[in-house]
């Protein structure tokens, strides 16, 4: 999200233009505005040249060699960016520059399971808007640890209808759902119903652009999938006013950031959430299998029909379904890495789609077979 600082007629703002999650690069934009004397139009084209200074008295009294903007321009270009200026005499100037930077490894503060488990959400009314049954089961299990029985519905239209009549303390809402998606629902809730209730978006996309879109649409916060249980509890405790502010940063969860063993294709990520509750584990796996049977049929049909939009929607649904296996599980990684190759934005090939389906089918069968005794 853009941030700004206003002091003595100078405003500095920064924002993220795009994120390359694969290569871990960010393109950033910075803007500096001032309310100074401004720059004449005939000088704007030369101010980045070496030793160029304005002849206006207000500018000359500060001295200097005239190398400052030249150095800035060189530094910006070395960082893969560019710099520009917009100015009016006696009204001030606005400088903008972009740069591409590598994403730093940030070690976030963590909260122990013991601390998270101390929160009780008993007597709170929480609405979960999520069409994916596997995720419903998983989230219901997480909530049960904190004495919460949520109301669960399947799409945004149901949420709008329900919230016209009933009051909840907190709403958690998936972004992509049938009938009505999360963005349409939050728009109706905020602009027509004037709903003030906190609404947390739940999304399988983790780009900065998606997060900014969520916040601008009217969501109070977001949760990335796979769900980080401790972060979810922290956010809920904050919005239910049990703590002053979240102990964890609400920055994007990186793919692969978990507290469980991520080195193989077992169910360690999932069991770190459900514990030794074999009944819940079996129910989630059964729902994953059921959803996959439908998705692979729909995916083949979409590919044969060249429906690129339907392919993207199905991939998103698959990512959501299997996120509970953890970001390092082969099933989830293949969906992320190879799903994007099923089409080039305009066309899709049945051959690529069939190969993709067969690979996912093999991995799912292996996962279910290896864990049949759990």
* Strand, coil or helix: 261: coil
Q: How many other CB atoms are there within 10 angstroms of residue 87's CB atom?
A: 20
Joined together, the tokens standing for residue 179 give 């009938």
CA 32 to chain centre: 27
pTM of the model: 0.61
pLDDT of residue 108: 45
Pairing, β 25-34 against β 92-102: antiparallel
Task: Quickly tell me which residue has 């979960």 as its tokens.
Answer: 128
pLDDT of residue 65: 40
Give the Cα separation of 218 and 345 in Å (integer).
29
Task: Quickly tell me which residue has 């692979």 as its tokens.
Answer: 296
Those residues with Cβ within 8 angstroms of residue 8's Cβ, 6 or more apart along the chain or in another chain: none
Which residue from 60, 176, 90 is spatially nearest to 129, judged by alpha carbons? 176
**Which CATH number describes the domain made up of 3-102?**
3.30.565.10
Helices of type H across 145-193: 156-165, 182-191
Joined together, the tokens standing for residue 271 give 């069991």
Residues 132-183 pLDDT 10s: 999 999 999 999 999 999 999 999 999 999 999 999 999 999 998 889 999 9
Q: Name the DSSP class of 215.
A: H
φ, ψ for residue 13, nearest 5 deg: -135, 155
Q: Which regions in the chain score pLDDT beneath 70?
A: 1-9, 23, 50-67, 104-117, 205-208, 244-265, 370-374
Residue count of the chain, please give it: 374
Confirm or reject CATH 3.40.50.2300 for domain 113-254, answering yes or no: yes
Residue extents of the structural domains in the chain: 3-102, 113-254, 278-370
């Amino acid at each position: 999200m853009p941030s700004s600082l206003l002091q003595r007629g100078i405003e500095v703002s920064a924002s993220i233009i795009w994120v390359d999650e694969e290569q871990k690069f960010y393109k950033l934009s910075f803007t500096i505005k001032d309310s100074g004397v401004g720059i004449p139009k005939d000088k704007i084209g030369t101010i980045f040249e070496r030793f160029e200074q304005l002849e206006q008295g207000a500018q000359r009294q500060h001295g200097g060699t005239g190398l400052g903007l030249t150095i800035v321009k060189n530094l910006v270009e070395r960082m893969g960016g560019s710099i520009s200026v917009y100015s009016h005499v006696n009204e001030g100037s606005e400088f903008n520059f972009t740069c591409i930077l590598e994403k730093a490894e940030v070690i976030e503060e963590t909260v122990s399971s013991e601390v998270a488990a101390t929160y009780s959400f008993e007597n709170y009314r929480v609405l979960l808007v999520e069409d994916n049954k596997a995720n419903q089961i998983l989230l219901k299990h997480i909530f049960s640890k904190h004495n919460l029985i949520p109301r669960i519905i399947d799409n945004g239209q149901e949420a709008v209808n329900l919230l016209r009549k009933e009051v909840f303390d907190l709403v958690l809402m998936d972004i992509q759902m049938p009938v009505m998606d999360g963005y349409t629902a939050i728009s109706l809730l905020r602009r027509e119903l004037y709903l003030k209730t906190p609404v947390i978006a739940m999304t399988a996309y983790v780009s900065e652009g998606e997060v900014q879109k969520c916040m601008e649409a009217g969501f109070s916060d977001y949760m990335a999938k796979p769900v980080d249980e401790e972060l979810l509890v922290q956010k809920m405790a904050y919005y239910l006013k049990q703590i002053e502010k979240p102990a964890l940063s609400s920055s994007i969860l990186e793919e692969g950031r978990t507290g469980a063993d991520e080195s193989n294709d077992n169910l360690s990520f999932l069991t770190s959430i459900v514990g030794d509750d074999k009944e819940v584990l079996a129910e989630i796996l059964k729902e994953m299998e059921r959803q996959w049977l439908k998705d692979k049929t729909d995916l083949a049909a979409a590919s044969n029909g060249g429906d690129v939009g339907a392919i993207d929607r199905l991939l998103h649904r698959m990512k959501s379904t299997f996120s509970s296996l953890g970001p390092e599980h082969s099933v989830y990684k293949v969906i992320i890495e190879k799903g994007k190759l099923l089409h080039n934005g305009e066309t899709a090939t049945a051959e690529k789609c069939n190969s993709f389906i067969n690979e996912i089918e093999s991995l799912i069968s292996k996962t279910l077979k290896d864990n049949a005794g759990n």
